[in-house]
């Protein structure tokens, strides 16, 4: 059973189309848990209508977190199924999104065992408000292609790459390449989940958890149409594009790095060294400690640590910018 976690807020415009794309999935063993964050449009009525239609296959809760991130954490606090899939309110799932995601996650479970925490994500196709393709994939923006250079391609599951934790984790701490609305993970990872008081975003937090304690898989195929519209206009722009149009100033960049440090410090508060017994998790713990320790160092020492521990972003120019601003 896949439990789909759907976070909503004032989503009346695109929500019905998203839910219909879920109901049209080729994989049908799922249920929906939706959390509405105090919408003042018709979103609650839309959710109630689908709840009446789907009966036990859908549950709806109310939230007052006033944050997409916290709304997803509310959902994660209540999730209890074998597999968990994250869902935004304004996208569109390809018909085999769940089928291919489940095939990928089971491939990893067959390889490493069902007790291994596993997270799988995929590429997305960027579309306009009417779902017309913009001829651009999210992979061209997120930096995932760099991680794929060190990944192992699955022989048994089409387009599945198994990311190399030791080659990818350091870069992941400074650049999130996991897009939350494509994520699916297993119960072994859910059991490890602890709600953070401080984090950058829910998908970044789950990625750190998966890299630290388990395996991360990537499906090199767009399984979700990412709808670009006025309410998420920065969502599918590269960091360079955002800088060029002056949407980010130096103060915001500094706050972003402060949030990255806080996120790792929170992770180290919740997960102790004794939780990291095998070689992979011990490696992850040491990388996390090294990253957190940079906060109290001067600029030159931070640059040395970036080089020493490979805290590199996906391009040279972004890494240079990191060294100048971290």
Tokens for 286, please give them.
Answer: 């040491």
- pTM of the model as a whole: 0.91
**Can you tell me which residue has the tokens 């760099």?**
146
Helix (H, G, I), strand (E, B) or coil at 208: helix
Would you say 1 and 31 are in contact if contact means Cβ atoms under 8 Å apart? yes
Half-sphere exposure of 55 (CA within 13 A, CB side): 0
pLDDT tens, position by position, for the chain (326 residues)?
999 999 999 999 999 999 999 999 999 999 999 999 999 999 999 999 999 999 999 999 998 888 999 999 999 999 999 999 999 999 999 999 999 999 999 999 999 999 999 999 999 999 999 999 888 999 988 889 888 988 999 999 999 999 987 889 999 999 999 999 999 999 999 999 999 999 999 999 999 999 999 999 999 999 999 998 766 644 555 554 444 445 557 788 889 999 999 999 999 999 987 776 666 788 899 999 999 999 999 999 999 999 999 999 999 999 999 999 98
Under CATH, which number does the domain 1-90 receive? Answer: 3.90.550.10
Domain with CATH 3.90.550.10 in the chain: 1-90
Instruction: Please tell me the distance from the alpha carbon of residue 277 to that of residue 280, in angstroms, as a whole number.
Output: 8
CA separation (Å) from 193 to 70, 73, 79, 186, 273? Answer: 14, 10, 11, 11, 16
């Amino acid at each position: 059973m896949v439990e789909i976690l759907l976070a909503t807020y004032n989503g009346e415009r695109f929500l019905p189309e998203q839910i219909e794309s879920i109901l049209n999935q080729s994989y049908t063993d799922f249920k929906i848990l939706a959390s509405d964050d105090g919408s003042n449009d018709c979103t609650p009525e839309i959710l109630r209508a689908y709840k009446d239609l789907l009966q036990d296959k859908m549950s709806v809760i109310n939230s007052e977190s006033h944050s997409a991130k916290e709304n997803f954490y509310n959902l994660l606090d209540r999730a209890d199924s074998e597999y968990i899939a994250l869902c935004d309110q304004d996208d569109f799932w390809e018909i085999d999104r769940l089928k291919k995601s489940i095939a990928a996650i089971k491939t990893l479970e067959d390889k490493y065992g069902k007790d291994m925490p596993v997270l799988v994500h995929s590429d997305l196709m960027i579309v306009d408000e009417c779902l017309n393709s913009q001829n651009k994939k999210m992979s061209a923006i997120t930096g995932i292609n760099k991680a794929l250079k060190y990944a192992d391609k699955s022989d048994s599951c089409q387009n599945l790459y198994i990311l190399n934790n030791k080659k990818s984790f350091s870069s992941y701490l400074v650049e999130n390449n996991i897009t939350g609305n494509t994520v699916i993970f297993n119960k072994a990872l859910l059991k490890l989940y602890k709600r953070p008081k401080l984090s950058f975003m829910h998908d970044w937090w789950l990625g750190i958890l998966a890299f630290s304690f388990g395996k991360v898989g990537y499906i090199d195929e767009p399984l979700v149409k990412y709808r670009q519209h006025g309410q998420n206009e920065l969502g599918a722009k590269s960091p360079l594009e955002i800088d060029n149009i002056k949407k980010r100033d130096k103060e915001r960049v500094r706050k972003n790095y402060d949030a990255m440090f806080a996120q790792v410090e929170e992770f180290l508060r919740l997960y102790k060294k004794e939780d990291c017994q095998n070689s992979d998790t011990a490696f992850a713990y040491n990388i996390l400690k090294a990253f957190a320790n940079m906060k109290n160092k001067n600029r030159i020492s931070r640059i040395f640590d970036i080089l020493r521990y490979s805290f590199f972003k996906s391009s040279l120019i972004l890494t240079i910018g990191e060294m100048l601003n971290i």
